[in-house]
């Protein structure tokens, strides 16, 4: 499908999605929100795709919501309601798809752009990238991201960074456990491919269910979650990949998984 605000390509069972509004630092407008959601939904349903990579064109990963569009909106409250809902649909699709999603943070990530990155499962960031929650700095309550941010860094640190609209370096982000790894600009794609090479060899159904369990662990109580783990393990035990995995283990060979 042809898009105006993103590009997408499929290669070696991976979907590479690139935000493509470089003149606006890849900021979210309603069009980008709709197109990104459509592509994420299609990717989620495509059983041939094992993993997803989200990146930005140019100097930014995503600069957040398009402030120029906010300024021009006649009904600013309705515009922000529509925009945040568009962003939320993308975030929900990322978190609920049973495929690993990698954020390749090639440049600035602010506001909703940071929230989009934090929705992903693995975050690889280029050295010297700047980040921030940004919302308070323009007189706006956060429209997304406070739950992810707080769950990761804790209450007091979340207050420090969100309430004061504090920008931070990628090194700070690593110390706060917001990103998995920092790399040089020229090493970003190489590092991403190292992760992808692992996902191409591992059982995709088990990975997808493990991602689901990690997400559910943030909301379930212990007894609920133990039961869900038991049911999910039993489900994956009925797959061909499990049969292959245990056979390879007992035969002392490397398994070949088919996603069935």
Residue-by-residue DSSP string for 138-201? GT---SS-HHHHHHHH-HHHHIIIIITT-EEEHHHHHHTTS-SEEE-GGGHHHHHHHHHHHHHH
**Which domain, by its residues, includes 54?**
6-199
Backbone torsions φ then ψ of 41, nearest 5 degrees? -65, -45
Regarding whether 241 and 208 lie in a shared domain, the answer is yes
Task: Write the Ramachandran bin of 11: left for phi over 0, alpha for psi from -120 to 50, otherwise beta.
Answer: beta
For residue 5, give the 3-state DSSP assignment: coil
Decide if 1 is inside a domain: no
Q: What is the pLDDT along the chain (260 residues), one digit of tens a residue?
A: 789 999 999 999 999 999 999 999 999 999 999 999 999 999 999 999 999 999 999 999 999 999 999 999 999 999 999 999 999 999 999 999 999 999 999 999 999 999 999 999 999 999 999 999 999 999 999 999 999 999 999 999 999 999 999 999 999 999 999 999 999 999 999 999 999 999 999 999 999 999 999 999 999 999 999 999 999 999 999 999 999 999 999 999 999 999 99
Decide if 191 is inside a domain: yes
- pLDDT number for residue 1: 76
Regarding whether 183 and 100 lie in a shared domain, the answer is yes
Regarding whether 135 and 227 lie in a shared domain, the answer is no
Q: Token pair for residue 92?
A: 């929900």
Nearest to 3 by CA among 70, 14, 26: 26
Element (H, E) at 100: none
Rounded Cα–Cα distance for residues 96 and 251 (Å): 35
Strand partners, 132: 110, 167
- pLDDT number for residue 219: 94
Regarding whether 26 and 136 lie in a shared domain, the answer is yes
C-beta of residue 111 within 8 angstroms of C-beta of residue 64: yes
Neighbours of 236 (CB within 10 A): 16
Rounded Cα–Cα distance for residues 23 and 17 (Å): 18
pTM recorded for the entire structure: 0.95
Rounded Cα–Cα distance for residues 139 and 128 (Å): 27
Regarding whether 167 and 227 lie in a shared domain, the answer is no
Rounded Cα–Cα distance for residues 39 and 141 (Å): 28
Regarding whether 212 and 128 lie in a shared domain, the answer is no
Decide if 258 is inside a domain: no
Count of domains for the chain: 2
Decide if 30 is inside a domain: yes
């Amino acid at each position: 499908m042809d898009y105006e605000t993103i590009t997408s390509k499929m290669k070696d069972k991976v979907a590479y999605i690139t935000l493509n509004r470089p003149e606006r630092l890849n900021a979210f407008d309603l069009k980008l929100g709709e197109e990104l959601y459509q592509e994420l939904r299609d990717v989620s349903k495509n059983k041939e795709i094992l993993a997803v990579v989200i990146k930005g064109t140019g100097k930014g990963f995503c600069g957040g919501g398009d402030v120029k569009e906010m300024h021009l909106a006649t009904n600013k409250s309705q515009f922000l309601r529509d925009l945040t809902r568009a962003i939320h649909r993308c975030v929900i699709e990322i978190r609920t798809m049973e495929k690993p999603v990698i954020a390749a943070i090639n440049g600035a990530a602010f506001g909703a752009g940071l929230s989009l990155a934090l929705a992903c499962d693995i975050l690889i960031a280029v050295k010297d990238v700047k980040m921030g929650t940004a919302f308070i700095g323009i007189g706006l309550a956060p429209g997304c991201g406070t739950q992810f941010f707080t769950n990761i860094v804790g209450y007091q640190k979340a207050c420090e960074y969100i309430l004061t609209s504090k920008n931070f370096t990628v090194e700070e982000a690593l110390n706060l456990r917001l990103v998995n790894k920092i790399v040089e600009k020229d090493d970003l794609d190489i590092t991403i491919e190292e992760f992808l090479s692992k996902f191409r060899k591992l059982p995709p159904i088990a990975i997808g269910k493990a991602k689901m369990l990690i997400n559910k662990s943030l909301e379930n109580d212990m007894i609920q979650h133990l039961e869900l783990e038991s049911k999910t393990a039993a489900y994956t035990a009925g797959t061909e990949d499990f049969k292959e995995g245990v056979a390879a283990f007992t035969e002392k060979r490397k398994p070949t998984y088919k996603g069935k």
